[in-house]
Chain A
Amino acid sequence: MIERGRLASCFRAGLAGWLLAACATVAQAQAPSADLRAKLQNMELLFCFQGKGSSMSYDAGVLKHAFDYLPALAQRKVVITGNSSGSIFAIYFSCHGFTKASVDYAAYRIQHADIEAVRKSENAMGKFARLATNRPTEVSPEGLKEYIAFALGVENWRDAAKVEDVVRRSRLKPVFPVVIVAANKEVLDNRAEGNALSAKNYKEFNPDNFAVSWKQDVFDFYRKHPDRFAKDNPDLRLGDDPYIGKACTCFVDRTMFELLRQIPEEERLCDLRLMTDAADMALAIRASTAEPTYYPPAPETDYAKLYVGGRLGSAGRSRRRSYVGGFIMPMVAHDTRRMLPGVRVMGTGVARVAIIGRELVKAWYLVDLQNTTDQNAWWTDLEVVIPPDTQTAIANRTLNQKDEYDAGYKQAGEVLAIDRGRPKYVLEPKYRYAADAAIYPPNAKRDDIQEPASPAEHPALKTMRGLGPLLRRP
């Protein structure tokens, strides 16, 4: 039976909206369609562009080398994912695919992009002083204009006054399967009045499914004091239980939308946001790069494309939605690998965030990002692990774009040559087995599943295997 609130919202959205929402709910329980199966069963690789702030040239170097080693890229047997600045590459290749020309062009553009504004804002000392004085550290998202233009294939971007103008000049749509992650600000918001590290800590984060809930005592208090709730949390609704919402949203193309919504809500790590045009892709980039202290939160622009709590066109228990960067999941693989157990997962490498930075993010957005990083890193088969010296140089932004490109190229060569590169620390996720509706590759050797310790356990998917059969020695 449809509850009253939902019925009302359906009427507001019109009959088409009702049908869409109803279909979406029904589709969740169904198995993947034959069409979807046909599209995805031959996927071999999940390639994740892991954000590195302004040091994107490193990823360009990694990709340049990987392209020679991994035929799956050119053969379109790849799901592209990304977080933070990695989202720019993810969108670009989702639109253009991986060809020698597209890879070379991406490397050229990123090495020659103007990164001064971001670099300046990345100066830790300046950030620290601004944070200490409660001044904003974020720079204007208009600084992303060149990157968004690159991702959306807009050549004549220089005379565009705003990002929106760039977007209007693009006719591109996501073509190849893509997933980009961004954290949900209103759900995670934890800041309290006071200094930069002041936190409320009224909420709890469940690392198993990235659900965020009120602490029971806080929930009880707010139930008794609804006016206080409305005053304290103008962007949220108080539900019948302490649940608030998912910690993050995955921006996905139509194919990945159909795939990922097969995962039951209580197991999936994120809400879904459908991308169908250039504006959606630009929002995905803004959302994922809006990291704490980098850019201001990116507000949602089209709630009809938001899939929350099994319903399309819903923001769940949020009155409004904005995004605060992809910090929460530097390896975007959990849900995709559970649905496509046959793929191998490769990441371009991620640097460890110093404890003081983690404390800041935790105070603002509840989550210890190292824990979520380690938990998502569990899915890695091969990571182009950043050597300590390069990691330090990247953290300090002491390399120029060419140096970063060379460092990425060299390191990818070394890692791919031995097919060995694992993240330093990992944490086991709870749902580390294939989802019920998973799409397996046809006639494939089942080397992707571990023997369970007991018959009652789900057989966990194997990870950290290297790329094995996907590699072609050039």
Chain B
Amino acid sequence: MRSMVLYMVMATVAVGARSASGAETPAAELTQLLRAIRDARAECHLPTEVELSGAKSAALAACERLAARLADAPDGKIAAEQLQLPELLEALQNEGTDAAVLERADKALHRNRPGTKGVEFDRVRSTVEKYLRLLRASQTDDLPQQTAQQIDLLEQALRRYAADRSDDHVQQVSGPFLWLWDHGQIMELLVKVHKQTVHTNHRMRFSDSFLNRVLAQPITEPVTSNEMNEGARVIVRGTLNGKLSSVLVPHESQGVIHVSFEGLGKSNISAYKGKATVRGRGQTNIHASQPVYLTTSGFRVGTPQSRVSHRTTGNTVNVQTNCRWLRPLMNHIAAKVVSHQQAENDCKAAQRTRRQVEERLKTESARMVKEGNQTIDSFGLFAALGPEPESRLRLRTTTEYLEWLGRYAGDRQFGAPAGPPEFAPGNHAVLFQAHESAINNAQQFVVGETVNDADFRELVYSTLGLVPIGDEQIAGRIPATITFAEENPLDVRFRDGQVFVKLRLVEIADDHLVGRGLYTVSTSYIPRTGPEGTKIVRNSPIKIEPADTPEIEKLQEILSRFLVPEADPGNMESLQAFFKPDKLRLHQLKLIDGWLTLVLDLEKGVRRD
């Protein structure tokens, strides 16, 4: 269970994406929506002075509350500066508001994720955003005409999208959508448009056999007890050998795994009562199972069920008596009594064992569930999806796999134009599919960040189980660094079997050269599959713009440490460090229509035990 969560966490982190879900939009709903948009054409919301001043006051009050909280924190001044709070407060306190300052502050606020600085911060974000929308609308001279024009564009784009759900058509929707959103027009309809056009952009499937490999483990436990039973001291010594395994149970809205345990206990039993001693060998068969449910609220377990049978054999009876004539007779009588009671005793032993097994199952599963849920909480797995993770995430199981479908897109972002392409299930361990939007929507994580080539290679190539060519020859190298730009730092496209990468950088440096400016760096990669697995090869030179950049060749050389010429399959080192039982190897990599599909297999001959 823990492994499963961790794989999900790691894979999600790997693409820098948070996940969510979305079913295919029925055409009828789109048609209805188109009608509503057409009807809304005449609507234009021109903000009144009262509305504007109300929104401004709300934003100012939220800023003041946040400023007051930060003033009481040791790092409050630093946080306030990061958020550009002093400028924002000044702008809001002025009679006339400087929209440019607000725009800048809005961007700074959005670089920080909601929830990172408390509820006061989230309130500032939402109130400033609302005020800015009204302000933009009020400062647009021909608002009614422009609104009508954008609604027309939206309707046309949506119509094209309804006919052909392609990435290009989603792009066409996004233009008028963002204009209308940013000017606070037809907001309710826009929410519906968003809901209808944003689809799953991340899918993971964990095969039944893989999950079983992760969960299955042999269990060997000593069985010892020393207790009084109906006036007799009963001592049991033995061993329980068994195996934990899992089976997936089909469910449409949650992951259901049946975890079961099959075990055989063998023990030696000695019972002492008065002058009588009874010895025997016990054999206990245990079958126990319990369903585990994974939902967006976390893990929970169902009622455990167990079946236990116990049989004692080979009883020997000995009664101590001083009279050697009486001893055989007493032994004979005692043996008769024991034999007569054996069935009843075995039944009692089975029931007692069953109670113990169920108790143990309940305790263990409660502990595991608690751990699983706390893992989810502590690492913000579902919290990262916002207050309603179920609206963005869907979990389900079939008999063949556990599936995780996610839609990673903020209110102003779009996901995949339709669901992920189908993939022949086969007997692969893990299927990972990410739409380019899942990566591009995560740009905020790299804005302004500096990363060196060692970390970049670990994050990108090692996570995919690839080793850049020449990696083993690196010795005594001072890492080069790149710094991402504040605007659109990353653009990745998966098209025509290739990955097209575009980075916007403000610095490229190694120990000899520092290039500063605004560089647009682009290149492309193609996967090649051979008997050793899939490798990726750069199939175009690294292009740096502007083309007249000084020392461009040297900068290209530095960048080739990041955008390596070739990366071959190797072990998934960084993941392995966490999940040592399972050596995953990249089996297949596909890049079609905006989707990256990775198929990972367990390396042959690798077993958990």
Contacts and interface: CB of A to CB of B under 8 A. Distances in A.
On whether the two chains bind one another, the answer is: yes
A424 interface: yes
B580 A200 contact: no
B378 A396 contact: no
Interface of A: 124-125, 128-129, 131-134, 195-197, 200-202, 215, 217-218, 220-222, 228, 232, 352, 354-357, 370, 374, 385, 388-389, 391-392, 395-398, 422-428, 464
Contacts of A220: 77
B374 A423 contact: no
Interface residues of B, number: 39
B371 A133 contact: yes
Interface stretch (B187-195, B205-213, B570-578): B570-578
Contacts of A396: 576-577, 580
A425 B74 CA distance: 36
B324 interface: no
Nearest to B467: A388
A176 B579 CA distance: 42
B2 A427 contact: no
Contact of B378 (A133, A395, A398): A133
Interface string B443-465: 00000000000110011000000
A355 B476 contact: no
Given A125-B578, A133-B371, A215 B478 contact: no
> A-B pairs with the 3 shortest C-beta distances?
A422-B475, A396-B580, A195-B378
B76 A221 contact: yes
Contacts of A131: 378
Given A200-B75, A370-B454, A392-B571, A422 B476 contact: yes
B75 A395 contact: no
Contacts of A374: 454, 479
Give chain B's interface secondary structure class: helix
Given A220-B77, A221-B77, A392-B573, 7 more contacts: A132-B378, A215-B78, A352-B458, A355-B458, A385-B475, A424-B454, A425-B478
A132 B379 contact: yes
A399 to B, nearest CB: 12
Given A218-B74, A425-B477, A464-B476, A133 B375 contact: yes
B511 interface: yes
Contacts of B458: 352, 354-355
Contacts of A195: 377-380
Contacts of B472: 388
A195 B580 CA distance: 24
B175 to A, nearest CB: 37
A228 B74 contact: yes
16 contacts: A124-B579, A124-B580, A125-B6, A131-B378, A132-B371, A202-B75, A215-B78, A217-B75, A218-B78, A220-B77, A221-B77, A354-B574, A374-B454, A392-B573, A424-B476, A425-B477
A397 B580 contact: yes
Interface of B: 2-3, 6, 73-78, 370-371, 374-375, 377-380, 454-455, 458-459, 467, 472, 474-479, 511, 570-571, 573-574, 576-580
A124 B577 contact: yes
A132 B75 CA distance: 26
Contacts of B2: 125, 128-129
Contacts of B73: 221
Contacts of A217: 75, 77-78
B375 A425 contact: no
A355 B379 contact: no
Nearest to A221: B74
Contact of B478 (A129, A355, A426): A426
Given A129-B371, A132-B374, A388-B472, A395 B74 contact: no
Contacts of B380: 195
A359 B73 CA distance: 24
Contact of A423 (B3, B76, B77, B475): B475
A201 B75 contact: yes
A134 B577 CA distance: 21
Contacts of A129: 2, 371, 375
Given A129-B371, A218-B78, A398 B478 contact: no
B378 A388 contact: no
Nearest to A397: B580
A385 B478 CA distance: 17
A202 B577 CA distance: 31
Contacts of B75: 200-202, 215, 217-218, 221
Contacts of B379: 132, 195-197
Nearest to B570: A388
Given A124-B580, A133-B371, A202-B75, A425 B454 contact: yes
A217 B371 CA distance: 38
Contacts of B579: 124-125
Given A129-B375, A133-B374, A395 B576 contact: yes
Nearest to A424: B474
Q: Name the residue in B380, B458, B475, B478 with the highest tally of chain A Cβ atoms < 10 Å from its Cβ.
A: B475
Nearest to B573: A392
Contacts of A370: 454-455
A195 B376 CA distance: 11
Q: Name the residue in A132, A202, A385, A464 with the highest tally of chain B Cβ atoms < 10 Å from its Cβ.
A: A132
B581 to A, nearest CB: 9
A360 to B, nearest CB: 11
Given A124-B580, A125-B578, A129-B2, A424 B475 contact: yes
B314 to A, nearest CB: 36
B76 to A, nearest CB: 7
A398 B580 contact: yes
Nearest to A228: B74
Contacts of B377: 195
Contacts of A128: 2, 6, 375, 578
A395 B573 CA distance: 9
Nearest to A427: B478
A81 to B, nearest CB: 20
Nearest to B476: A422
Nearest to B373: A133
B574 A425 contact: no
